[in-house]
Amino acid sequence: MSNSTGAQAWLKHPVAKPVVFVLALLPLVWLVAGAVGGGLGANPAEALIRALGDWTLRFLCLVLAVTPLRVWAGWPALVRFRRMLGLFVFFYALLHLLAYAWFDMGLELPELARDGAKRPFILVGMLAWLLLAVLAATSFQRAMRWLGGRRWQALHRSVYAVALLALLHFYWMRSGKNDHAEVLVYAVVLGGLLAWRLWRAWPRSKPLAPS
């Protein structure tokens, strides 16, 4: 049995989805344990907010990598995990937003609005979250049937807009501390995934039929 066939068989196994689900929860378990045990440094609230944002970006990269990896590796069963990973993107983004709203703003909506008006990166982050909320709400079969396959696909291509907004949010946040190293890593990864998608969508010229 080849490595590709073995991986494909594991991806189809009934236990594969629960394993991936548990693995996707591990970052949250680690962060909660760090917060309870005092392992998040001198400013645990800020560390928690930023870590949740980082994990949102990482899961977003994972979701966007599913299709390229499925094509390159010949693992069509990977598509089984795309919706679950996409929902984890929304889950971590929601926790990131709630942590910011709670620890920084005291869950005061007027304060949230004022902060968004003063700091554009907050506004961009909220816009990215709203798009993610729409994608999460329409990620189920019933929504696909209601929208129709073509409109559903067009809507879910906006995940690339989410990626660009999230990257801009991250860039502006790190610019205040002149820290762009991680931003560059995510920009390269997301740029590569977007370039692959554009290359796949580019119309290929068909060979001329013999006369």
Q: What is the pLDDT of residue 187?
A: 92
Per run of 10 residues, the mean pLDDT along the chain (length 211 residues) is 68 88 95 87 88 94 91 84 94 94 83 82 91 92 85 87 92 77 90 87 57 40
- 74 within 8 A of 2, measured Cβ to Cβ: no
DSSP, res 40: S
Q: How far apart are CA 15 and CA 13, in angstroms?
A: 5
Dihedral class, residue 204 (left if φ above 0, else alpha if ψ from -120 to 50, else beta): beta
Give the per-residue pLDDT at 211.
40
What pLDDT is recorded for position 41? 80
Number of other CB atoms surrounding residue 36 within 10 Å: 10
pLDDT score recorded for residue 2: 56
At 100, list the tokens. 């910011």
Map tokens 């902060």 to a residue. 115
Q: What is the pLDDT of residue 127?
A: 92
